[in-house]
Structure 1
Amino acid sequence: MKKSDKIIALESNSDYIHITTGGSQLRVYLVDDDTIRFRCTFDEEFAPEHSYALVKTAWEDDLDELFANERTRVTPIAPNVEETDDYYVTRTAKLEIRLTKDPFGIEIYDTDGNLLYKDLKERTFMEDSHGRRYHYSVINAGDHFYGFGEKTGKLNKRLQYLRMHNTDTCGHDAELSDPLYKHIPFYVRFNDHTRKAIGVFYNNPFDSAFDLGREWSGYWDKYSFYCTDGGDVDMFFINGPTIPEVVERYTDLTGKTALPPLGNTGYTHTTMFYTELEKDVDKAILEFVDRCKANDIPFDMFGMASGYTCMPNGKRYQFHWNSAKFPDPAAFMAEMKKRGVAVTPNVKPGILTTHPDYDEFADAGAFVKDETGKKPESERYWGGFAGFPDFTSKAGREIWERHMTEALLDNGIEGIWDDNCEFDIQNADAVVDGDGRPTTVEGMKPVLGNMMAYTANHALTQARPNTRPFIISRAGFAGIQRYAQTWAGDNYTCWKTLKYNIPTILNMGLSGAANHGCDIGGWFGPAPEPELLVRWFQEGVFMPRFMTNSSNTDNSVTEPFMYPNYTPYISRAVKLRYALAPTMYSLLREASVKGSPVMRPLVYEFPNDPNCWDESFEFMFGPNILVANVTDPGATEKSVYLPAGTDWYDFRSKKRYEGGQTISVPVDLDTIPMFLRAGAIVPMTDGVTNLHTQTIDHLTLLVEPSAAGSFTLYEDDGETNDYKGGKYLATTFEIAPGAAANPYSTDGENNAGTFPASDESHEVTVIRATCDGSYASRVERVEMDVFTHNVQPFTVAMSGPSGERFIEKFFDPAKWEAADEGWLYDMETRTTRIKYANPSGDYEIRVNYAINDLVKM
C-alpha cells in the first residue's frame, strides 16, 4: 500500500506546483480562476501528457497536433505559494487552495471563506497492492451527487456505488443496471446548506468506480472515493458556484455538444426488422416513409440497421451491401432524399475473420493487436470471431475512412450511426497504438469509441467540407459529445423504463452530452402496448434524439402507426415536437456554445427549492417549460410539483398557479402536462412536417410577461458550417414588465417615446428583440401570443428599423386572420395576439395596459 501521507517537498514554478509525498508525486495546475488540476502518480515519473478527452489544456500534450482544430492552449495562472505552520496555500481570483502538510490533503475555499471541497486526510491518494489507485474526499451533510454520465436509477446518486465500464447491456433494467455504455467520470456535487455546486472530473479512461458514501466507517468522516484500475488520479476541480456554471466549465474542458443539422432534430425511425428481410429492403423502407405521410406523421430521418450488410451466409460484412436487399444503394439514397429523409446507416467496428477485407485490415496493421503486439487480437462478436480496428492508430483510421467513403458516402450517405462500439475486448493485455504511444487496451476502450466517432466526423468533413457532419454513437468516453449524438442503448420495453429513462437523460445532460435520448417504445422485449407507446412518444417530444427503435422478441416491429386507433395521439405528439422545433434547435445551439442541457433537472433551474434537489422525473425543457410526463398506466390525474419562486401557467389552458405547491391535474391519453414559468418566451411554429425540405417561415412566440425573462432564438441554414463564420442569427427576446420596462421614462411617468399614454398608468410591457449575426432570417411573419391576466391592452406599438407605429387593433377574428398586421384580444384564452412582418434588425413591441376610463372621458 502506498499513500500520499505527508508533504516531504514542495516546489513551485510558473506553470505548476510539484509536491513530493511519502508515497506519491503531485502536480497542481491553476488552469484558470475556477479550474484546478491535481495530477497524482505513484510511478517514479509522470507519464507524458496524452489526453483524448481534453480540448482545453495549460500544458503541452502529445496529441496537440491531432486535435489542433479542437484544442485551445491557455496559460496557467502562475502559483504564488505561501506557507503556514500547517499548510501551503495558493490562490486564484475565485479560490483558495490549501495543501495541508501532515497529514497531506487538499482543501478548497471560495473567497468568502466557504469550504467547497476537502480530502479525507490520511486516505487522500492511495495505491493498493493490485495497482488500483484511489482518491478519497469528505462528504458533507446536504451533499447531492449528479452526473456520472449514462446511469440508471434516480437523479441523486448519493449512497450509490457506480462503475465506469463500457459494455453492451442489452435489455438492461432502467432503474438498477450498472454499468451501461458510456464512461464519463464526472460529477456535480451540490450542497443544499451552502447552495453551492462544484464539479469533479477524473481524466482517466481506465475502468473505475465511485462510492458516494455507500461505504461507511465509524473511524472516519463520511466520505466518497474514486478508484481506477490504472493510470494516474488526474482530477480536475471545477468551481461553480451554480450548477450551470459547473457544466459550462466542464464542457470548456472536454468540449461542447456538436450542433446537429436542423433536419436531423426531427422524428427518426429505425428497426432491425426491415433490413433483416431477405430482399427488397429498399422498397420496405420507402414504403415506411410513405406510410408516415399517409398517417400524418412528420418524419425526417431513417436509421438503417446493420442488416444491409448481412450476407446470405448470415454474416455481417461491414461496408458491403447485400445486393438482394439493396440492388442500387445510390438510387435508394436519391429516392430518400426526394422525400426529405436523411439516412444514417448502422456501422459496427467488428471485422469478422471471414470478412472479405479482413486480410487487408490485418496487413495494414489496422487492428488492435494481441499481447505480443504483432498479431490481430481476435474476440467473440456477431457471427463469429472478429478483429477490431485500432482507432488510436493512423492506419486504423485511414483504412476505415476509405472503406466508409467508398461504400457509404459515395452512395449519398450524409450521416453515420456507430453501434456496438464499446470495444469490450476481454484480453486486457491486447495492445493499441495510442497514436505513437503503444499501451494495453485496458485503459483505452472508451477512447476507441470516441475515436471511431472522430474518424466518421473526419470522413464526412473530407467528403463534404461545408456540410455539417452528423454522427450517432452508442458508447464513448468524456468528450464524445464533440462528435456524436448519443443514446442509452438497448432499453427494455416496459413502463419502468419509460419512467427511469428520464433521469438517465438528465444526468447525461449534466455530464456534457446534451444531444441524448432513449429508444422510443423500447428496443428489447415484446411490442409496447398501445397506451405505453403513446406515452413514450409524448416523452420523446422533449428528447433531443427523437427515435423509435426496436428488436422485439415477439416478431413484431414498433411503428408509429402500429395501432391505428392510437395513431392520432401519436401524430399529435410528433406534431408538437415539430411545433417546438425552433425552441429545440435554439437549445441545441445553446448546448454547442455553453454546454447547457436541453432536458434539465429541476435543481438546475431552481437550486433554492428543497423539493427540486432530488426530483428525478419532472424536468425542464430549456429554461421555461416544466414537463411532467405521464409514466403510469391508466392514469386519469397527474400530481405535479411546481417549483417555488415563480408563478406557473398551464401550457394549454393558460391557467395560473402559484409556485411552491403540488397540484393534481386531470389527464387523458392526449395529455402532456406542461407548464410555463413566469417570464417565459417560447418560439414555436406550425404546419411543418419535414425539416429538410420545408422552411420555418413563420413563428409564434408564447410570451408570459408578468416577470422579466429572455430567450435567444437561433437560426442558420441548418445544413452547412457557415454559422462558424458568423452566418447565423441569434435573436434575444427580453421581457421588461411594467414601469421598469419603459426605456424612455426619465421621471417615473409612462412616457413611452413618441407614443401617448395615460399619465396614471405605469403598465407598459416591453418585449425587445436584439439581433446578432449576419444570417438573413427565413422567417417572414411573427405572431406574438402575450398572456394577459387581468386587464386587456389599451394599445400595442412597435418600433424598429422601419420606424415607430401603433399596431391596429381588431375585434373581428376573421378580419384579424386576413390582415398582415394587427392585434386581437382572445377573451377565451386571455392572450393578446399580435402579428407582424418579421423586421430585419432590432425592434420592440410595447403593450400598454393603461386603463381607458370611459366614464371620465
Structure 2
Amino acid sequence: MFTVCCGLMMTTPCMAQDVNIEFYTPNIVHVVKGKPTKTLVITAKPENVKTVRKGNTWMSSELTVKQDVNGSLTFLTAAGKVLLREKNGDVMKARQTFLLDKDEPIYGLGTIQNGKMNRRGEHKRMEQSNLEDFQNVLQSVKGWGIYWDNYSPTQFDDDVDGMTFASEVGEGIDYYFMYGGSADGVIALMRHLTGDVPMFPLWTYGFWQSKERYKTAAETESVVDRYRELQVPLDGIIQDWQYWGSNYLWNAMDFLSEDFTDGPQMIKNVHAKHAHFMISIWASFGPQTQQFRELSEKGLLLPIETWPQSGLSHIWPPRMDYPSGVKVYDAFSPVARAIYWKYLKTLYNYGTDAWWMDSTDPDFFNPRESDYEHKVTGGTWRSLRNAFPLETVRGIYQSQRKDYPNSSKRVFIMTRSSYAGQQHYGSNMWSGDVASSWDMLRKQVPAGLSFSLTGNPNFNTDIGGFFCNAYNTKGPGSAPQNPQYQELYVRWMQYGLFAPVFRSHGADAPREIWQFGKKGEPVYDAIEKMIRLRYRLIPYLYSTAWQVTSQNGSYMRPLFSDFVDDKKVWEMTDELMFGQSILATPIVNPLYTEEQIIKEDAMTGWDRNNVKMKEIKNEDVDWSQTKTVTKYLPQGTDWYDFWTNERRKGGQFVAIQTTLDRVPMFVRTGSILPLGPEMQYVGEKSWDSLELRVYPGSDGSFVLYEDEGDSYNYEKGVYSTITFQWNDKMRTLTIGARQGSYPGMLQKRQFIIVLPDGQHQTISYEGKELQVNL
C-alpha cells in the first residue's frame, strides 16, 4: 500500500486527503481516500504484486497509476493507453468524479428499468427497491470497470462535468479499479474480488410455474397433476405467500393456515410427481410469530414501514386502522441471521428444495429521517441500506451449507433484490413486480444484461409481467383469453427462454398453459413449443452453467461482449447472446394486435382499477399469418437461422419471416450445439443419445459438462467433460476423450451429428477420442 499526499512529498500540511493505493492483482487497484469502508463484499486478499514506483507513478505488469499535483489519479494500461481519469473528489461527502472519453459507452449499475444499456447521461439515485436494484459496478467498452464500495444510497450522475458517484454516508472514497480488457474480463475480476458462482441444480433449468398465489395445498398440487396429465414439461412449482395464515403470522415459516394443514405431505406428493418445490419467505415477520418475539427481545427488528401494511389480508387498499405490525429483521446481525435460519430449517426439513426470498430490498414505505438513522448492526440503516439483500441471502446460503454439508441439495435462492457479490451465494434475482406491457417487456432485455455486467449472471423475470389487470377485459382473471395479452405472454415467454431461470408468474390472472386454450390451438401450441425447446437446450445450458462457474462466463451476454468492434451493437437493447453460440433476437413489439400504453408500478398494480383497454375479439386475430421482423446480425461471423438453417452474413440488418410460435434465433459459425431429448421433467430421460448440431464456417469447440445434477461433489472434482472440436478446413469433428467421472455416469452413448444441410451421422462413443469426417 502506498500513501501519498497531493502527489508531493511535503513536510507542510496538505489540503488534500492522503490517497492509499493497493494492487490486489496486477490489474486490480484498490483506491482509498480518507476512511475505508468496512467491506461486506470483498472476499479476496491482496496478492503479492510486483510493482515499481517512480515518483508519483505506480506500475504493475498490467496497469499504471499516475497522480497529478492536485492528487487526482489517472489509470493507464502498461503500454500507456489512458483508461480513466479522476477529476475532483470530496472525501467528507464520499464523492468522486471521473472523466470519460466523449463517446465512451459505460454499462452496468444494476436493473435500471428505463430501457437503456449505455449509462451516459444517466442521473439515478441508487437505493434498492421492488423494481430496481443496484450493485455499484460499472464497466466501459474500453475494458475497465469500477466497483464503488459504499452501501448507503448513492447518486450516480453523468453529465458535462463528468461521471460521479456520491454516497449519502461515508467518511471517505473507497473503490476498486479493474482492467479486464473486455466485458468478460471485468466480470472475471469482479468475481475474483467477491466470489465465484456456485452451480445450481440441473432441474432448476427446467420450466417453473407459479402465481400470486395458490390458496390451498390441494390447488398447488393439482397444478403439477395437470401438467403431467397434459404431458407438458414442468420441473418446479412455487408456493407464494400466506400459507402461514393471517398477516399477523406473516412469514411464520410453517404451514399454519387451515388450507395448508397438509403442507408437508403436499411437498412429498410434489416430489412423487417428479417435480420440485420452492416456497415464499420474507425478510420480515408478523407480531404473532415466534421469530418476531425472539428478534424483538434482542432489539433486532427495524422500525421501518414495510409490506404488508395492514393486518387484514383480504381488504385492499390497506386498512391502516388495523396495522399489521410486521417488521423487517436486522439482516446485518449474525445473531439475527442465525435466528432466521433456526426457524427456516422447519421448512427445509419438510423437504423444501428452494427458497423464494421476496422483498429482499426490502419494501420501505413512507421513509422518515429517523428510519434512516436507526442503528443496525455495524452502522445505521442509511449507511448499510443497499447491502441488505446481500446479507439476508448470504445468511441462508452459508447456514444451509454449514448445517447440511453432505446434503444432496445445492442451495437455490430466488430473490427480488441483489447487491455486488451476491452471485457467490446461490441466488438468482428476478426483476420485481413488473407490469404486463410491451414497454416493460422491452425494458427487461437491457435490465437483465445490465445486471449480468455487474458480475451477477443469474437473472429472470415474471413471464407475462406480474400485473396483467388491464387485459382482464372480460372480468377478473380473463387476460389469458384476451388476444392482446396472449401475444404479449407468448413473446415474453420466448424472451424468458434465454434466461437462466424459465418461470411463469403473476397476479390478476392465472398463467398455467391451459388458461390460454387447449392443445391444437395456436396460443397454447406456441407456449408448449417454447417449453419443449427449453428442455432440448438444457445440455447446452447446463454446460454454459459450468462455464459460468469455472471460467467466469455469463448466460445473458450483451452483444458488445462478443463483438466489441461492431459499434452498431454498443447500445442494442433487443438482442443478446445466450451463452457463446446462440444469438437471441426476441420479438418485443406486437405483430398481431395493437399496443396500448399501460402505466402501472409495484404499488398501483395492486389497485386493480385500471381503465381497461379496448377489447379485441379472438376472431379478429389471425394467428396463422406469417410476419416479418428486422433484426441485426453482428459482424465478424456468419449466422445460421436456428429454424431454417439458412446462412447469413454478419454486419447487416436482415428481414426474418416469423410466426407466433417461433422466436428468431441464430447460431454463429463454428458452433457445436448439443440438444437433449424431449422430456416431462429433468432426469426423466438420460442423455444417451444427444443431437450435436455442427455449424460450419469457422473452427469451433464446445465442452459438454455433466455431473450428478445436484450436491456439491463437483467442487471435489466429481464431474465429467467431453470436448468437441470442429476443424472447418478439414471438415472434421473431434470428440475428445472423456475427462473425469461421477456416480451414475453414462459409459456408452450415441451422438447424432447433424449439419445444416441435413447430413447426419450417428456415432457410438465409449469415452475414447474419436474423429468424424463430415
Question: Residue deviations 1:282-341, cap 9 Å, x none?
Answer: 111111111112333210011210121233x77534223234211222211110001121
Match of 2:511 in 1: 558
Q: Secondary structure at the match of 2:325?
A: strand
CA distance in 2, matches of 1:692, 1:366: 43
Query: Do 1:423 and 1:446's aligned partners in 2 also have CA atoms closer than 8 Å?
Result: no
Q: Judging by fraction of residues, say which structure has more helix.
A: 2
CA distance in 1, matches of 2:393, 2:749: 39
Q: Secondary structure at the match of 1:468?
A: coil
Amino acid at match of 2:442: K
Q: Secondary structure at the match of 2:214?
A: helix
Query: Do 2:586 and 2:664's aligned partners in 1 also have CA atoms closer than 8 Å?
Result: yes
Match of 2:218 in 1: 283
Amino acid at match of 2:439: K
Match of 1:292 in 2: 227
**Unpaired runs of 5+ in structure 2?**
311-323, 470-478, 593-626
CA distance in 1, matches of 2:168, 2:747: 54
**1:411 to 1:492, Cα distance in 2 relative to 1, 3 A:** same
Count of aligned pairs between the two proteins:
695
1:302 aligned to 2:237?
yes
CA distance in 1, matches of 2:751, 2:684: 23
Question: Residue deviations 1:397-434, cap 9 Å, x none?
Answer: 1211111112x012111211111111355401111223
Deviation at 1:361, TM superposition (A): 2.1
Q: Secondary structure at the match of 1:309?
A: coil
**1:97 to 1:679, Cα distance in 2 relative to 1, 3 A:** same
Question: Residue deviations 1:44-82, cap 9 Å, x none?
Answer: xx35x6322112122xxxxxxxxxxxxxxxx34254321
Query: Do 1:428 and 1:442's aligned partners in 2 also have CA atoms closer than 8 Å?
Result: yes
Q: Secondary structure at the match of 1:163?
A: strand
**1:244 to 1:290, Cα distance in 2 relative to 1, 3 A:** same
Query: Do 1:715 and 1:729's aligned partners in 2 also have CA atoms closer than 8 Å?
Result: yes
Deviation at 1:693, TM superposition (A): 4.7
Amino acid at match of 2:770: E
Query: Do 1:698 and 1:779's aligned partners in 2 also have CA atoms closer than 8 Å?
Result: no
Q: Which has the higher contact order (CA 8 A, sep 6+)?
A: 2
Moved over 6 A (4+): none
Choose which of 105, 108, 126 in structure 1 pairs with 2:75: 108
1:168 aligned to 2:130?
yes
Question: Residue deviations 1:353-385, cap 9 Å, x none?
Answer: 3435422222244434xxxxxxxx353431323
CA distance in 2, matches of 1:710, 1:730: 13
Provide TM-score, normalisation by structure 1: 0.78
Q: Secondary structure at the match of 1:639?
A: strand
Choose which of 2, 25, 43 in structure 2 pairs with 1:55: 43
Match of 2:314 in 1: none
Query: Do 2:448 and 2:459's aligned partners in 1 also have CA atoms closer than 8 Å?
Result: yes
Query: Do 1:146 and 1:188's aligned partners in 2 also have CA atoms closer than 8 Å?
Result: yes
Query: Pairwise mapping of residues 516-555 of structure 1 onto structure 2 (< 5 A)?
Result: 516-526=459-469, 527=479, 529-552=485-508
**1:357 to 1:204, Cα distance in 2 relative to 1, 3 A:** closer
1:199 aligned to 2:145?
yes
CA distance in 2, matches of 1:394, 1:499: 40
Match of 2:292 in 1: 358
Query: Do 1:414 and 1:460's aligned partners in 2 also have CA atoms closer than 8 Å?
Result: no
Q: Secondary structure at the match of 2:76?
A: strand
Deviation at 1:8, TM superposition (A): 4.9
Deviation at 1:344, TM superposition (A): 1.2
Choose which of 17, 22, 36 in structure 1 pairs with 2:15: 22
Amino acid at match of 1:559: E
**1:393 to 1:629, Cα distance in 2 relative to 1, 3 A:** same
Deviation at 1:664, TM superposition (A): 0.1
Q: Secondary structure at the match of 1:669?
A: coil
Query: Do 1:378 and 1:385's aligned partners in 2 also have CA atoms closer than 8 Å?
Result: no
Query: Do 1:365 and 1:395's aligned partners in 2 also have CA atoms closer than 8 Å?
Result: no
Question: Residue deviations 1:731-766, cap 9 Å, x none?
Answer: 22221222xxxxxxxxxxxxxxxxxxxxxxxx4424
**1:541 to 1:328, Cα distance in 2 relative to 1, 3 A:** same
Deviation at 1:352, TM superposition (A): 2.3
Question: Residue deviations 1:89-145, cap 9 Å, x none?
Answer: 111011111111x2221112212221111112xx2x114xxx532111111033111
Query: Do 1:698 and 1:780's aligned partners in 2 also have CA atoms closer than 8 Å?
Result: no
Match of 1:320 in 2: 254
Query: Do 2:213 and 2:241's aligned partners in 1 also have CA atoms closer than 8 Å?
Result: no
Query: Do 2:206 and 2:502's aligned partners in 1 also have CA atoms closer than 8 Å?
Result: yes
**1:186 to 1:469, Cα distance in 2 relative to 1, 3 A:** same
Q: Secondary structure at the match of 2:343?
A: helix
CA distance in 2, matches of 1:287, 1:361: 37
Choose which of 356, 381, 386 in structure 1 pairs with 2:307: 381
Comparing 720-729 and 694-703, the one that deviates more:
694-703
CA distance in 2, matches of 1:572, 1:503: 25
Question: Residue deviations 1:243-266, cap 9 Å, x none?
Answer: 211111111112223311001111
Question: Residue deviations 1:785-838, cap 9 Å, x none?
Answer: 342xxxxxxxxxxxxxxxxxxxxxxxxxxxxxxxxxxxxxxxxx6132121223
CA distance in 1, matches of 2:695, 2:590: 33
1:126 aligned to 2:90?
yes
**1:226 to 1:10, Cα distance in 2 relative to 1, 3 A:** farther
Choose which of 410, 420, 428 in structure 1 pairs with 2:349: 410
1:399 aligned to 2:355?
no
1:460 aligned to 2:400?
yes
Q: Secondary structure at the match of 1:586?
A: helix
Query: Do 1:53 and 1:478's aligned partners in 2 also have CA atoms closer than 8 Å?
Result: yes
CA distance in 1, matches of 2:218, 2:402: 30
CA distance in 1, matches of 2:207, 2:450: 23
**1:396 to 1:694, Cα distance in 2 relative to 1, 3 A:** farther
CA distance in 2, matches of 1:357, 1:189: 45
Match of 2:624 in 1: none
Q: Secondary structure at the match of 1:577?
A: helix
Question: Residue deviations 1:163-198, cap 9 Å, x none?
Answer: 3211234xxxxxxxxxx1x220011111xxxxx311
CA distance in 2, matches of 1:10, 1:669: 72
Match of 2:191 in 1: 251
Provide TM-score, normalisation by structure 2: 0.86
**Unpaired runs of 5+ in structure 1?**
12-18, 59-74, 170-179, 191-195, 218-222, 276-280, 369-376, 739-762, 788-828, 849-857
Choose which of 103, 114, 139 in structure 2 pairs with 1:188: 139
Question: Residue deviations 1:462-497, cap 9 Å, x none?
Answer: 453232111111113211111211111111001112
1:578 aligned to 2:571?
no
Q: Secondary structure at the match of 1:499?
A: helix
**1:830 to 1:510, Cα distance in 2 relative to 1, 3 A:** same
Deviation at 1:692, TM superposition (A): 5.0
CA distance in 2, matches of 1:781, 1:103: 67
CA distance in 2, matches of 1:10, 1:98: 18
CA distance in 2, matches of 1:20, 1:579: 68
Query: Do 2:306 and 2:362's aligned partners in 1 also have CA atoms closer than 8 Å?
Result: no
CA distance in 1, matches of 2:373, 2:110: 26
Match of 1:89 in 2: 57
Query: Do 1:512 and 1:596's aligned partners in 2 also have CA atoms closer than 8 Å?
Result: no
Match of 2:31 in 1: 38
Match of 2:759 in 1: 832
**1:731 to 1:474, Cα distance in 2 relative to 1, 3 A:** same
Q: Once superposed, what is the RMSD of the aligned Cα atoms? A: 2.2
Query: Do 2:752 and 2:761's aligned partners in 1 also have CA atoms closer than 8 Å?
Result: yes
CA distance in 1, matches of 2:685, 2:297: 48
Match of 2:384 in 1: 444
Query: Do 2:244 and 2:257's aligned partners in 1 also have CA atoms closer than 8 Å?
Result: no
Choose which of 549, 569, 575 in structure 1 pairs with 2:526: 569
Match of 2:609 in 1: none
**1:726 to 1:442, Cα distance in 2 relative to 1, 3 A:** same
CA distance in 2, matches of 1:224, 1:378: 32
Choose which of 28, 39, 49 in structure 2 pairs with 1:77: 49
Deviation at 1:558, TM superposition (A): 2.1
Query: What percent of counterpart residues are identical?
Result: 23
CA distance in 2, matches of 1:76, 1:432: 36
Amino acid at match of 1:532: L
